[in-house]
Amino acid sequence: MATKAYDKSFREEVYQNVDSGEDVKLCMQCGVCGITCPLRGEMTHGPRQLWALIRAGKRDEVMNSPDIMLCTSCYSCKVRCPRGVKVIDVMHGLAHYALEQGIVPRKETAKFGKVFWNSIYKTGRVDETEVPMRYTMMAGPVHGIFAMLEMMDIGRALLSHKRMKFKLGPGLPPSKKIKGIRGLKKMLDKAAAMSPGKEG
Amino acid sequence: MDKNQACYLCKGCGLGEALDFDNLEEVLGESGISEVKTHDALCSPDGVALIQGDVDGGVNAMLIGACSSRVKSDEFNFGSQVIVERASLREQVLYCSEAEYEGEEEAGEDRQMLAADYLRMSAVKLAKSNVPVPFKLELEPETALLVVGGGVAGINAALAAAKAGVQVFLVEKEAELGGFLVKMAKLAPESPPYQELEDTGLEELVAQVEADDKIKVYTGTTVDKTEGAPGNFTIALSGGDTLRCGAIVQATGWLPYEAEKLAEELAYGSNPGIITNVDMEAKAKAGDLGGLNGVAFIQCAGSRDQNHLPYCSAVCCTVSLKQAMMVKEANPEAAVYVIYKDIRTPGQSEEVYREAQRKGVVFIRRDEDYPKISESGGKLAIETKDMTLNDTVEIDELDMVVLATGLKPNNPKVVDAPLVALGMDQEAAKKLAAESKAQCDSWSVLNLQYRQGPNLPTLKYAYPDSHFICFPYETRRTGIYAAGAVRRPMRVSQAVEDATGAALKAIQAAHAAAEGVAVHPRSGDMSFPEFAMQRCTQCKRCTEECPFGAINEDEKANPLPNPTRCRRCGVCMGACPERIISFKNYSVDMIGSMIKSIDVPEEDEEKPRVIVLTCENDALPAIDLAARKGHKWSPYVRFIPVRCLGSINLVWIADALSSGIDGVMLFGCRHGDDYQCHFIKGSELANVRMSKISETLDRLVLESDRVRVEEISFNEVDRIPEIISEFMETIEEVGPNPYKGF
């Protein structure tokens, strides 16, 4: 088994730059977060081990771990953590930090997140037709069309229940914007500027 | 004293309907009590007034046939000069028996016989009881307190006692007071919000001691000799002074576990950077923590390890947290690691753990194997298993590695061998343990001039303790209390609490000695063992077996009892083959006569009789509770309370079996390492003695199944009916006692 040398630079980096990163200090390795997570079967490390890796200074393993993008924000871990570690906040914080560093730990999540975010940023809402269309088309028009055909039954049902509007394609017709979209954009820009590691 | 006897029977709680009182009066008449009164509710003010009236009229010995002696004790207390004997008709007759029992010719006859037997036994007991006269010391009893050890526990014990108005002598072997506190830089957070390291407060403590005119301090002094007994200890000090005191608190602290023994496992001694937590504290005290960039603490260094200290010292985790915080305070950029098996932070120390984490200390969980420490380029490196990462990890660039070693009892003769019993050949381990224990017991702080050795008897791991939950600070030497880390590893704040408790217990012991009454657990008992010396054969059993070392010996091996050291358990009475030891209200003859007073039906009546000699401390309350819970058992069983199973003299068993009783059971407390015996060794001694009962049984040509010892603790109430019915089946199998009718 390969030995891992402890290196303090990465944990200092996380404490300073990642949203709620200092919470990682407080983990007492009880494992409640990991066992609580509904996606524990999908995760390679789980929050507990990620925290241990952060403390050990394993930058590459942490930043490339798909786990930090698998979190669905169900809040089970955050609610149950006996040390009050804001597990979800750290997970999302790590994901953001990785993206900022040009690392994409899990492509699908990153893509979907981008489409989702764009929809909110541009129109102030999540358009149920637009977001999936754009997401599937990102892999190329052919792949996109096949992927959409696979989901046709769900689409039809949603249409018949008026849960979704009919569109010919992305932006056809364009989504309706909310009132005061400018104000929202301003708010989002300000918030982005305030995120950890961006101060000054 | 001339006895003016009377009996009062209660008809309350359903007794009136269940029992034939005319018959009971007749039984009492046959037993020599002619004055019998009944009342519908004896514990009511009216009933008590009835008895009080007779007491005023001259009755001074009474039998009350009502509920258990464990209830209504205030109502039926008529002063120390009136003997009150209680027959438990409610719990031991009414509640535990069926109104009709199988095989009865007449419904309720077994129950009636049960009640009659209890009254017969109580009548005998009453006739044989005398009013105890408290033991008075020859010299004027002394109440001053000797505190040995001037550390945090000793100082606090002295202050607490002085505050209570007691004269205190504080003896410290070093030139200054303070003990280990002198060497400590800071204390881990002891008060909310548990984030700031605290000052030791030693100067203030010492100033308080010096300002107190009730406390006389002897520094640079040790105890050469301790003679006497509570209320009258004579202490010879190394300086030549002699003191007289009533009780003693021993607060002589602890010794750090020798890190030299960890040379192999943790490379101690191979590099000046590898130090113990004690060395670390000295460095911190000297302000020598600057310039540290990398420090690792290794927890459980020689603790919870069968080759070193098998126990957890409970303080090393908090100490490492404190020292890690000190390093971080000196240099917030320092990389500080704690490599642990489990972090154990009792009490509020969990907050200290959190605070250390907040300060950025990194915690790494290891497995049972010790980390490997090596040197590279003038720095230290550690290789350890990281349980969370399930991988071997390496920590390098360390300036210092601190081994968190544990605490040992303060006895230089403590050998760690007895602690290594596990995993060894059991016989070899036992031998080794006995040798080491003897060695450890031969060394002493107090140098007691006791027949059983100079030291406080030790329990597990050579700590002189008693039952750790029920009786803290009690040692097995009456009037001598252990406080602080001398009795188990503990923190400063715990030692302060301990010291206060021990000081108060010691004051109580000195006063009890002055008044001639027992201390815990028979608090206030005025009886004490009396020796009919003309019949003594100098067999030494009493002097050897007394769990509290109360009996000394002269050159000719005659026992020299020290009644103020006595706890009144009666173990000596059980030990004496000549039966020369008795109490005013408890003797071999008394219980023997009670057994013989039981009416044993003829064999053809098919009504066996079983007696249960029952420990008053745990088993008897358990039986009361079982009866009150509605458990029923055979009406052929009679309980006879005894002070301790250790007080059971084998002659009682012989008496019982030769008078036709079919079986004898002994209900007592658990013995062994996790004993619950209130007199520590009583239950164990009884067990040893019973293992030799077969000799008696062989002589009588009886089956060994007829005698059984059962361990009953108070929480095993529901097991009682089961145990009894099982024993009754056994008795049925072995058949009736052939001595019936002789």
* CB A40, CB A46: distance < 8 Å: yes
Question: Quick one: pLDDT at residue B693?
Answer: 84
Binary contact (B354, A83; C-beta < 8 A): yes
d(CA B601, CA B584): 32
Residue whose pair of structure tokens reads 């030497």 in the numeric block: B477
Question: Quick one: pLDDT at residue B434?
Answer: 79
CA distance B289 to chain A (A): 20
* CB B597, CB B33: distance < 8 Å: no
Residues belonging to chain B: 742
- Residue at A200 is within a domain: no
Binary contact (B353, A28; C-beta < 8 A): yes
d(CA B260, CA B242): 39
Sort out which chain A residues have CB atoms less than 8 A from B364's CB and list them. 55
Domain B1-131 matches domain B259-409 at the CATH topology level: no
SS3 of residue B450 by DSSP = coil
Q: What is the pLDDT of residues B116-162, one digit of tens each?
A: 999 999 999 999 999 999 999 999 999 999 999 999 999 999 999 99
* CB B459, CB B465: distance < 8 Å: yes
Residue B417 has pLDDT above 60, yes or no: no
d(CA B161, CA B652): 45
Domains of chain A: total: 2
Question: Which of B293, B366, B386 has the most A C-beta neighbours within 10 Å, making it the best mutation to test the interface with A?
Answer: B386
Q: What percent of chain B has a predicted confidence (pLDDT) above 70?
A: 98
* CB B203, CB B211: distance < 8 Å: no
Peptide bond into A173 cis (omega under 30): yes
Question: Quick one: pLDDT at residue A1?
Answer: 38
The tokens describing A132, both together, are 């999936």
> Do both A29 and A87 map to the same domain?
yes
Residue of A nearest to B388 (CA): A49
* CB B453, CB B441: distance < 8 Å: yes
d(CA B496, CA B153): 5
Q: Which residue in B470, B465, B413, B404 sits closest to B438, CA to CA? A: B413
Q: What is the pLDDT of residues B531-563, one digit of tens each?
A: 999 999 999 999 999 999 999 999 999 999 999
Sort out which chain B residues have CB atoms less than 8 A from A15's CB and list them. 360
- Long-range CB contacts (< 8 A, 24+ apart) of B280-285? B280/B323, B280/B400, B280/B402, B281/B183, B281/B184, B281/B185, B281/B319, B281/B323, B282/B183, B284/B185, B284/B186, B284/B323, B284/B326, B285/B183, B285/B184, B285/B185
d(CA A30, CA B353): 14
> Do both A24 and A87 map to the same domain?
yes
- Residue at A170 is within a domain: yes
* CB B559, CB B543: distance < 8 Å: yes
d(CA B530, CA B538): 15
CA distance B651 to chain A (A): 60
d(CA A186, CA A180): 10
Average pLDDT for chain B: 93
Peptide bond into B521 cis (omega under 30): yes
Sort out which chain A residues have CB atoms less than 8 A from B394's CB and list them. 3-6
The interface residues of chain A toward chain B in range 11-70, judged by CB-CB distance below 8 A, are 11, 15, 22, 25-29, 48-49, 52-53, 55-56
* CB B361, CB B340: distance < 8 Å: no
Per mean pLDDT, which range of B281-290, B425-434, B479-488, B719-728 is the poorest? B425-434
Q: What is the pLDDT of residues B575-593, one digit of tens each?
A: 999 999 999 999 999 999 9
Binary contact (A5, B393; C-beta < 8 A): yes
d(CA B677, CA B569): 11
> Do both A95 and A114 map to the same domain?
no
Q: In which domain, by residue range, is A190 found?
A: 107-194
CA distance B403 to chain A (A): 19
Question: Which of B344, B355, B357, B361 has the most A C-beta neighbours within 10 Å, making it the best mutation to test the interface with A?
Answer: B357
A85 and B CB contact within 8 Å: no
CA distance B389 to chain A (A): 6
Enumerate helices (H) and strands (E) in chain B, giving the number of each. 21, 30
Last residue of a domain, one of A68, A100, A132: A100
Of B343, B388, B396, the CB nearest to A52: B388
Question: Quick one: pLDDT at residue A129?
Answer: 87
A6 and B CB contact within 8 Å: yes
d(CA B486, CA B736): 55
Q: Could you please state the CATH topology (level 3) that the domain comprising B530-582 is classified under.
A: Alpha-Beta Plaits (3.30.70)
- DSSP 8-state assignment for residue B410: S
Q: What is the pLDDT of residues A97-136, one digit of tens each?
A: 999 999 999 988 889 989 999 999 999 999 888 898 899 8
Residue B31: half-sphere exposure toward Cβ, Cα within 13 Å = 32
SS3 of residue B356 by DSSP = helix
Binary contact (B394, A48; C-beta < 8 A): no
Binary contact (B354, A52; C-beta < 8 A): no
Contact residues for A148 (Cβ-Cβ < 8 A; gap 6+) = A132, A133, A136, A155
Q: What are phi and psi of B376, to 5 degrees?
A: -145, 120
> Do both A14 and A95 map to the same domain?
yes
CATH number at A33 reads 1.10.1060.10
Establish, for the pair of chains A and B, how many residue pairs have beta carbons separated by less than 8 Å: 57
Question: Quick one: pLDDT at residue B4?
Answer: 94
Q: What is the pLDDT of residues B221-231, one digit of tens each?
A: 999 999 999 99
Q: Could you please state the CATH topology (level 3) that the domain comprising B259-409 is classified under.
A: FAD/NAD(P)-binding domain (3.50.50)
Last residue of a domain, one of A54, A79, A100: A100
Single-letter amino acid code for the residue at B316: C
> Do both A125 and A58 map to the same domain?
no
Report, in this order, helix, strand and coil percent for chain A, each rounded to 5.
Answer: 60, 0, 40
Question: Quick one: pLDDT at residue A4?
Answer: 61
> Do both A36 and A90 map to the same domain?
yes
Sort out which chain B residues have CB atoms less than 8 A from A22's CB and list them. 358
CA distance B340 to chain A (A): 11
Binary contact (A4, B389; C-beta < 8 A): yes
Q: What is the pLDDT of residues B651-682, one digit of tens each?
A: 999 999 999 999 999 999 998 878 888 998 89
> Do both A113 and A94 map to the same domain?
no
* CB B507, CB B164: distance < 8 Å: yes
> Do both A183 and A141 map to the same domain?
yes
Residue B181 has pLDDT above 90, yes or no: yes
Last residue of a domain, one of A65, A100, A135: A100
> What are the structural domain ranges in chain B?
1-131, 145-253+445-515, 259-409, 530-582, 586-742
For the segment(s) B586-742, the CATH number from 2.40.10, 3.40.1350, 1.10.3470, 3.40.50 is 3.40.50
Peptide bond into B45 cis (omega under 30): no
Task: Give the number of other CB atoms < 10 A from CB of residue B29.
Answer: 14
> Do both A115 and A190 map to the same domain?
yes
Question: Quick one: pLDDT at residue B39?
Answer: 96
Query: Counting Cβ atoms within 10 Å, is residue B540 exposed (0-12), middle (13-18) or buried (19+)?
Result: middle
Q: Could you please state the CATH topology (level 3) that the domain comprising B145-253+445-515 is classified under.
A: FAD/NAD(P)-binding domain (3.50.50)
Sort out which chain B residues have CB atoms less than 8 A from A28's CB and list them. 343, 353, 357, 363
Residue A35: half-sphere exposure toward Cβ, Cα within 13 Å = 6
Please name the helix (run of DSSP H) or strand (run of DSSP E) that holds residue B513, with its range, or none: helix B492-515
The alpha helices in B6-100, defined as continuous H runs, are 15-18, 21-30, 45-56, 89
Q: What is the pLDDT of residues B331-378, one digit of tens each?
A: 999 999 999 999 999 988 999 999 999 999 999 999 999 999 999 888
Binary contact (A3, B363; C-beta < 8 A): no
Binary contact (A49, B360; C-beta < 8 A): no
d(CA B344, CA B315): 8
The tokens describing B303, both together, are 């603790």
Low-confidence ranges of chain A (pLDDT < 50): 1-2, 199-200
d(CA B434, CA B418): 8
Q: What are phi and psi of B463, to 5 degrees?
A: -90, 135
Contact residues for B80 (Cβ-Cβ < 8 A; gap 6+) = B131, B526
Sort out which chain A residues have CB atoms less than 8 A from B391's CB and list them. 1-4
Dihedral of the alpha carbons of A139, A145, A147, A152, in degrees to the nearest 10: 150
Enumerate helices (H) and strands (E) in chain A, giving the number of each. 12, 1
Per mean pLDDT, which range of B182-191, B347-356, B692-701, B702-711 is the poorest? B692-701
- Residue at A199 is within a domain: no
Residue of A nearest to B359 (CA): A25
> Do both A94 and A113 map to the same domain?
no
> Do both A179 and A111 map to the same domain?
yes
> Do both A188 and A123 map to the same domain?
yes
d(CA B573, CA B119): 25
Query: Counting Cβ atoms within 10 Å, is residue B279 exposed (0-12), middle (13-18) or buried (19+)?
Result: middle
Residue of B nearest to A9 (CA): B335
* CATH architecture of the domain with range B1-131: 3-Layer(aba) Sandwich (3.40)
Q: Work out the average pLDDT over B582-609.
A: 94
Q: Work out the average pLDDT over B197-219.
A: 96
Question: Which of A3, A6, A7 has the most B C-beta neighbours within 10 Å, making it the best mutation to test the interface with B?
Answer: A6
Binary contact (B391, A3; C-beta < 8 A): yes
Binary contact (A29, B343; C-beta < 8 A): no
Give Rg (Cα) of chain A: 20
d(CA B529, CA B522): 14
Of B357, B389, B394, the CB nearest to A49: B389
